[in-house]
Structure 1
């Protein structure tokens, strides 16, 4: 029997974002039958501590203890790569990688590489993310390393983004996509951004118009594509 790579998905951060990630993997895989799809081992660990809280409080101990248990389960399942559909959790990607020899797909680095390939040096990149992701600096540091110019939303805009993520999407409240599109439009027309990175998997759930998508790179999409490439 042909040896297949098995993808490990460390999910639950949040559960809806994980389900969207899995759906996108399935929809984006060229397949004529069940057997053409990717083998996945999915851990939907919803009870993990909130990543933004962990970063802002500088208290990662419990989070990393629970993550290590999940990684051991994925090792036992003999996965070839691990995907984590949560941007904020990537603040601890080095600690997580230190727990295992199984490669963890670095959602942040892969996304920044895609932007650099498309736009080149000096591109001003607006970052839409949680407070935890912005505070961690993971996207800003990666952008600077790749000769891009990171741009963060104003305090008022960031509060609007956090409300969308925590008060609406995580609670299952349907939001008007126009609200997110207006933010993206403002970052481009008023703040001079050339590209916007959707750096929160909750925001990836929001359906954007094709016109708006042209200005965006969604880290979830990048993770989906890289997961498929490595698994086939």
Structure 2
């Protein structure tokens, strides 16, 4: 297979399926051959990312992702995406393993946020405790010149319940819990925009659309960028590489 990309997923599987659905729905294909070529690595047995970040005595998820990156690199995809925000804890180490470009979902998402909401000053972030502790989104938002609010412990506990008890546990978002989290972030903490810093939250956004809130959905954004890049590489490798550099620099 030529002109394809690799998706490192399975963290969790339902959220990865959401990414694939978005990719399929947005391709605009009218026949089989117009869809994207990609390899999906649904590595469901990767150890829990947040557990390790919060307690290094727990199993590390790095060896599993290292194996995935090295295996896929041998197939020479045009680029790779990793559809788990918390897994970006090891982004630098994983990118150092290969010459294949690995898209940095938080970086790409915050660049897109700045284009979508140029006047937003205070950005709410909801994510796993691991992503919050890692500061990966917080640092990206601050580097973009915006203020960050993480809410309080009550809202962060609600977010973990939504991610682990609802979406991971049952495959379904709790609509009332999701809406209340967003309401608190907007009304009580003054967030102009809320970043959904976990792919389970992206699945919640797919299942329970709430247009009354200004949201940044990194998984939705990375699906769009994957599609954009996949089409560019099909036109020519030169086009793909040029657009890839633009996406990584935040210009596309």
**1:100 alignment counterpart:** 98
- Is the CA contact (8 Å cut-off) linking 2:50 and 2:129 kept in structure 1? yes
Q: 1:120 to 1:80 in 2, by over 3 A?
A: same
Provide the secondary structure at the position in 2 that maps to 1:103.
coil
Provide the secondary structure at the position in 1 that maps to 2:76.
coil
**1:35 alignment counterpart:** 33
Q: 1:174 to 1:209 in 2, by over 3 A?
A: closer
Deviations 1:120-142 (A, max 9, x none): 37621111100000000000101
**2:227 alignment counterpart:** 228
1:205 paired to 2:192: no
CA distance in 2, matches of 1:33, 1:170: 34
1:38: how far off?
A: 0.5
- Aligned-residue CA RMSD (Å): 1.8
- Is the CA contact (8 Å cut-off) linking 2:173 and 2:208 kept in structure 1? no
1:156 paired to 2:154: yes
TM-score, length basis structure 1: 0.92
Report runs of 4+ in structure 1 exceeding 3 Å deviation. Answer: 58-62
**2:218 alignment counterpart:** 219
Q: 1:59 to 1:6 in 2, by over 3 A?
A: farther
Deviations 1:164-208 (A, max 9, x none): 111221112534323211211221122111000111111111223
Q: 1:7 to 1:155 in 2, by over 3 A?
A: same
Runs of 5+ consecutive residues of structure 1 not aligned to the other structure: none
1:59: how far off?
A: 5.9
More displaced, 59-68 or 123-132? 59-68
TM-score, length basis structure 2: 0.85
CA distance in 2, matches of 1:96, 1:30: 32
Q: 1:26 aligns with which of 12, 24, 33?
A: 24
1:62: how far off?
A: 4.1
1:134 paired to 2:132: yes
CA distance in 2, matches of 1:28, 1:81: 19
**2:61 alignment counterpart:** 63
**2:111 alignment counterpart:** 113
Q: 1:60 to 1:78 in 2, by over 3 A?
A: farther
CA distance in 1, matches of 2:58, 2:68: 15
- Is the CA contact (8 Å cut-off) linking 2:158 and 2:177 kept in structure 1? no
CA distance in 2, matches of 1:48, 1:137: 21
Provide the secondary structure at the position in 2 that maps to 1:202.
helix
CA distance in 2, matches of 1:41, 1:66: 17
**2:244 alignment counterpart:** none
